[in-house]
Amino acid sequence: MYQPKTIPEIPLPDDIDRREQLTRERIFPRLTKSEAGGGKKAEIFYERLETEFPRLFRTLYHLYGNRYDFYYHLEDLLHRMAGIYSERSPELRARDLNKEKNPDWYKSEKMVGGICYVDLYAGDLKKLKKKIPYFKELGLTYMHLMPFFRCPEGESDGGYAVSSYRHVRKDLGTMDDLEELATAFHEHGINLVVDFINNHTSDRFKWAEEARRGDPDYMEHYYMFPDRTLPDQYDQTLRAIFPEVRHGNFTRVDEIDRWVWTTFHSYQWDLNYRNPAVFNAIAEELLVLANRGVDVLRMDAVAFTWKKMGTDCENLPEAHYILQALNAVASVVCPGLLLKSEAIVHPDEVNRYIGSVECQLSYNPLLMALSWESLATRETKLLAHSMKHRFQIDENCSWVNYVRCHDDIGWTFSDEDAAELGIHGNDHRSFLNRFYSGRFPGSFARGVPFQHNPENDDMRICGSAASLTGLEKGLEDNSSNDIDLSIKRIEMMYGVAYSIGGIPLLYLGDEWGVLNDYSYLETPGKVHDSRWAHRPDLRKGAKSDLVVNDVAKRLTAWFKKMGAIRSSEPVMGNTITRFPDQPDPHLFTFLRGQGAEKLLVIANFSEFERKLHNDWITDQLHAVSYRNLLNGEHRSVHNELHVDPYQILWLKPVSG
């Protein structure tokens, strides 16, 4: 049985209320109205601070309460918050107030997301602004831009080795360009989403550069060791994230004669959150970004931020306190900002990062992985079982549902869930890896292995949605039937993501059926990272060599239609999702809403026609007739509903 880690290193003392009150009485008088902007502006700041201070104090106490300098750093944090708040523009402060009045804004049916690389999709930030009309055609109101900050030339983990949050990469523009883009997005009803990599920095970040020069204060911003004694002890319980890159989690830095903790790549130095100065510095970077017009921050690698000897250093309680404290900071300075967790870990752990006082949004890696699992097996039992038990989250939060993204596919389903259905977890992952890498007989997929670990045969899968669903193979075989089935698979999987509840996320290029791009194998800085197979250059749009024109037209029309239907149906928004039992193992079904406002979704994960008795449909919708929103077809109750291969139905009851 999976056991989450829940006991913090520093528990709250019995007199925590008294300590908080005394701290408030001693520190607050040293905060002035002028440093928060003065007048009514400052009053709003201090009203929010009064509300949020109890939880900010408690979360920071869990992290730093046993340090001699805890109260110094707490006061420093509050001064930083006031100063950055004073610089927040009137437009953004008005946007904050509007979102406070409409706290469920991100749960609306009108929320439809897109994600892209600025350089690969448009060229730079100014050119991306010209794409807004197309984004609106797709119905996008949430636009996630992959990392565009200054980073080292050559290998940079796709931009996730950030060298400065205060500078955009020179080839992409400037911070002023970013601010102008955010303003344009807001004018067109689009929320700006940006990655915030708070587990590590590039080894060229200003803090790392100072540490390289031997500055003791900045050396304490990272985990540094004079020899291998402690790193060897830590490594005994740590897993290798990138086993093809190197063994172990530490990198030798000769300039300072130290071993530095590097969970991911050797040029990504893990931050030392045991140092409260690091928390304050990261909080400042977060707030400065918010002041540029960012609406949502994707918190990268949240599971790894706290280290403790004898553990795997993942999902420790303090990792949650870091996020909760950042949430409290944002709630005071920029309450319109949301945090989105990126935790590709055990499903139980994924759900623990979701909460109104932690991350209001979360990727839904379980839905993603099990949608691909169901596509391979043609059975939905593990998907249905897992969603029934794990889909419901804090009512004030929302999933971000995706089919593909910039990253690999990891099979992070629960072994406990699988065992209940007679499935052996590791054996099943091995099958899925063989299926999606095209090594299983009868596979339609053309995926690429990622980070194979020979010690346990673990790996992940890369590839575009089109190549993974069979389009690449269909084109190779010149099979019109296989091409058609691939398109239907893409439509069906995204149809689930658009309707299941939460914010659907379109990985831009999937609406054109973009194929794998194997040019990364000949590109320095990319050749060792197979994720570049599904990060192609899309600046030519649907005219790219990786796109088939007829396929692009068909898929683009589908996505535009789905976006329009979703945004016009309140049942797609802030309503509940249920997963009623049904007899067909190849169908995935769920019910949105309640009362008269309902939507029944039926998805066929097989290449065979399936039949579903109308009595079951009537029991769900409590109606004798219904309409398929996706094609406008009306039906009255007959004996059976025929569901075509890979078809998805959005059925809404018709009264009268």
- Which pLDDT score, from 0 to 100, does residue 595 have? 83
- Which pLDDT score, from 0 to 100, does residue 293 have? 98
d(C-alpha 108, C-alpha 168), whole Å: 31
Question: CA 236: distance to chain centroid?
Answer: 29
- Interacting residues of 269 by C-beta distance below 8 A, sequence separation 6+: 200, 201, 202, 203, 205, 208, 222, 260, 261, 262
d(C-alpha 451, C-alpha 238), whole Å: 16
**Whole-model pTM over 0.75:** yes
Instruction: Give the model confidence (pLDDT) of 431-458 as tens digits.
Output: 999 999 999 999 999 999 998 877 777 8
Least Cα distance to 122 among 515, 601, 508 occurs for 508
For the chain, what is the mean pLDDT?
96
Q: Residue type at 143? A: M
- Which pLDDT score, from 0 to 100, does residue 525 have? 86
165 Rama sector, left if φ>0, alpha if ψ -120 to 50, beta otherwise: alpha
CA dihedral 285, 288, 289, 295 (to 10 degrees): 120
3-state secondary structure of 458: strand
Using pLDDT thresholds of 50, 70 and 90, give the confidence band for residue 73.
very high
d(C-alpha 248, C-alpha 263), whole Å: 8
d(C-alpha 171, C-alpha 149), whole Å: 10
Catalytic residue among 52, 203, 314, 342: 342
Rounded average pLDDT over 581-609: 96
Q: Any catalytic annotation for residue 342?
A: yes
Would the pLDDT of 1 be above 70? no
Maximum distance among all Cα pairs of the chain, rounded to whole angstroms = 79
Would the pLDDT of 212 be above 70? yes
Show the DSSP H helices in 87-164 as ranges: 90-101, 118-121, 125-129, 132-137
The length of the chain, given as a count of residues: 656
Q: Which domains does the chain have, with CATH numbers?
A: 200-270 (3.90.400.10), 572-653 (2.60.40.1180)
Residues 616-623: contacts with CB within 8 Å, 24+ apart? 616/582, 616/583, 617/641, 617/651, 620/580, 620/591, 621/651, 621/653, 622/598, 622/653, 623/653, 623/654, 623/655
Catalytic residue among 270, 300, 458, 482: 300
Q: Any catalytic annotation for residue 407?
A: no
Asked whether 365 and 412 are in contact (CB, 8 A), the reply is yes
Instruction: Give the model confidence (pLDDT) of 6-62 as tens digits.
Output: 899 999 999 999 999 999 999 999 999 999 999 999 999 999 999 999 999 999 999
Instruction: Give the model confidence (pLDDT) of 137-181 as tens digits.
Output: 999 999 999 999 999 988 899 999 999 999 999 999 999 999 999
Instruction: Give the model confidence (pLDDT) of 469-521 as tens digits.
Output: 999 999 999 999 999 999 999 999 999 999 999 999 999 999 999 999 999 99
d(C-alpha 258, C-alpha 214), whole Å: 10
- Which pLDDT score, from 0 to 100, does residue 97 have? 97
